[in-house]
Structure 1
Amino acid sequence: MLKVSELNQYYGGSHILRGLSFEARPGEVTCLLGRNGVGKTTLLKCLMGLIPAKSGTISWQDKTINNRKPHQRVQAGIAYVPQGREIFPRLTVEENLLMGLARFSGAQAAKVPEEIWQLFPVLLEMRQRRGGDLSGGQQQQLAIGRALACKPQLLILDEPTEGIQPSVIKEIGAVIAGLAKRGDMAILLVEQFYDFAAELADSYLVMSRGEIVQRGRGEDMETDGVRGLVAI
């Protein structure tokens, strides 16, 4: 389980993250919602060790990981799909997916797990095509597939629906729901698209100005008025 306690982060004189505390549990989708600029991506970068937390603790599987480097967090079973996808455009789909196997050695790192092709059949069809030639939606599926190739116990997704056609959003939603249902993975989903989040969330958090201002169960999002809090 991921447990964040009293996390603070500053940029210059600005207090970006203000005493954040929350948990993400296996078998659940925890949705973090909020408008642009409230600190969501900064939080994810802190979780991955890309920027250090000024204070507070980040615990994963009952161990504090504040001092671990990004690759050590990946080795510990945490995978991150950043906003903008960040695939390798000149590598083929298959080569991109093999990059996700870096935490393994030998034979395990030599072959794309069959499960990835099953989750995203379009990637199998395009396995020899370069990543940069894929549509935005296909690139997002590739980025998620690459993250899943390392068999994480925590999957962090930063706005996976951004700039993607509705049919692919639906496919990605089905994959996320299926992964959560398995029960062995915690999923932290950062999202602005309310309907997508509401359909998937087991629990939700709403951020505003670096603070979590509301939290609850996914089924209560409508009655809790979350749509109004995150509407642009």
Structure 2
Amino acid sequence: MALSAPIMTHPQTPLIEAHDLNVRIGGNAILEDITLCLRAGEIVTVVGPNGSGKSTLLRALIGALAIDGGHIHKARDLRLGYVPQRLHIDPTLPLSVRRFLNLPRRHHRATIDQALEQAGIPGRADAALASLSGGEFQRALMARALIDEPNLLMLDEASQGLDQTGTADFYRQLEHIRDRLGCGILLVSHDLHVVMRAADRVICLNHHICCQGRPEAVTAAPEYRALFGTDDETALAIFRHDPHHHPHAPAAEDDDAG
């Protein structure tokens, strides 16, 4: 039976926990014995090679995918915001950004304008959804995820379609969102270098958790280097975020989960 606890704003509050999570698809083990905890005020990044189960992990945590073993515990009244890796919308549909954000229920104009501003595309509410660039469309998906002020924001490769400058701005924006809402953020990304700028904790995934902890510890771990095939210190440069006022969750020790 799933446990539940009321949502609180304390930075150590567990928002969602997975214990010994297993997922099989088509008879293949995609996730094996995943145990993790996401807390309020924490930005956690999941990295791993293609096919390592990163998107599957997010879909399992939000309940969009059945699990084959283990348990997922969510805090009571948890508000989840989710930005998928891709979403296909028929470009011939006469759908404005505002109408898109009003699905499945209507929101006040001011609420929509605020969500678009937070997502980095202010003033685009009346633009046709089909007219947005790839990067703008991803930000519209972000606005949709933010519109109900989630306690936990999950993003699957949400910076795709952005250039290098846009990607750096995007990660800075995530910090502002976290600081304003006090929410936890779980982010899947392939931007191994830039993503370290915003991460409080990194989880290195290859069907199981290979190692996890602060970015400095993970990029020095032999499991990480074995996966990404480099011992080049320059290639593993850390772009850390500036000091900020919120307390971090305790750093996890590197551990081999498999």
Q: TM-score, normalised by structure 1?
A: 0.82
Larger Rg: 2
Paired position in structure 2 for 1:59: 73
Give runs of aligned pairs for residues 191-230 of structure 1, distance below 5 A: 191-208=189-206, 210-224=207-221, 226=224, 229-230=227-228
Query: Kindly tell me: are residues 84 and 230 of structure 1, through their superposed partners in 2, closer, same or farther at Cα, counting changes over 3 Å?
Result: farther
Q: Secondary structure at the match of 2:144?
A: helix
Paired position in structure 2 for 1:80: 82
Query: Kindly tell me: are residues 170 and 86 of structure 1, through their superposed partners in 2, closer, same or farther at Cα, counting changes over 3 Å?
Result: farther
Give runs of aligned pairs for residues 5-84 of structure 1, distance below 5 A: 5-61=19-75, 76-84=78-86
Query: Kindly tell me: are residues 170 and 11 of structure 1, through their superposed partners in 2, closer, same or farther at Cα, counting changes over 3 Å?
Result: same
Paired position in structure 1 for 2:240: none
1:138 aligned partner, one-letter code: E
Paired position in structure 1 for 2:114: 115
Equivalent-residue separation in structure 1 for 2:16 and 2:89 (angstroms): 26
Equivalent-residue separation in structure 1 for 2:61 and 2:79 (angstroms): 13
Shift of 1:59: 1.1
Equivalent-residue separation in structure 2 for 1:183 and 1:130 (angstroms): 29
Query: Kindly tell me: are residues 227 and 201 of structure 1, through their superposed partners in 2, closer, same or farther at Cα, counting changes over 3 Å?
Result: farther
Shift of 1:112: 4.7
State whether residues 4 and 22 of structure 1, in contact with CA within 8 Å, keep that contact through their aligned partners in structure 2.
yes
Equivalent-residue separation in structure 2 for 1:184 and 1:92 (angstroms): 30
Q: Secondary structure at the match of 1:204?
A: strand
Give runs of aligned pairs for residues 159-198 of structure 1, distance below 5 A: 159-182=157-180, 184-198=182-196
Name the structure, 1 or 2, with higher relative contact order (CA <8 Å, separation 6+): 1
Shift of 1:174: 1.6
Structure that is richer in helix per residue? 1
Q: Secondary structure at the match of 2:126?
A: coil
Shift of 1:219: 4.1
Paired position in structure 2 for 1:66: none
Shift of 1:60: 1.3
Q: Secondary structure at the match of 2:102?
A: helix
Equivalent-residue separation in structure 2 for 1:221 and 1:37 (angstroms): 20
Shift of 1:121: 5.1
Shift of 1:116: 1.6
Query: Kindly tell me: are residues 227 and 82 of structure 1, through their superposed partners in 2, closer, same or farther at Cα, counting changes over 3 Å?
Result: farther
Equivalent-residue separation in structure 2 for 1:87 and 1:212 (angstroms): 34
Paired position in structure 1 for 2:99: 95
Shift of 1:122: 2.8
2:214 aligned partner, one-letter code: R
1:79-128 superposed Cα distances (whole Å, 9 cap, x missing partner): 1111014567532111222227x4xx7xxx3435143243245341x221
Equivalent-residue separation in structure 2 for 1:144 and 1:156 (angstroms): 10
State whether residues 202 and 219 of structure 1, in contact with CA within 8 Å, keep that contact through their aligned partners in structure 2.
no
Equivalent-residue separation in structure 1 for 2:157 and 2:202 (angstroms): 15
State whether residues 77 and 152 of structure 1, in contact with CA within 8 Å, keep that contact through their aligned partners in structure 2.
yes
Query: Kindly tell me: are residues 207 and 182 of structure 1, through their superposed partners in 2, closer, same or farther at Cα, counting changes over 3 Å?
Result: same
Paired position in structure 2 for 1:72: none
What runs of 5+ residues in structure 2 fail to find an aligned partner? 1-14, 231-258
What runs of 5+ residues in structure 1 fail to find an aligned partner? 64-74
Count of paired positions: 212
Percent identical residues: 27
Shift of 1:32: 0.6
State whether residues 152 and 185 of structure 1, in contact with CA within 8 Å, keep that contact through their aligned partners in structure 2.
yes
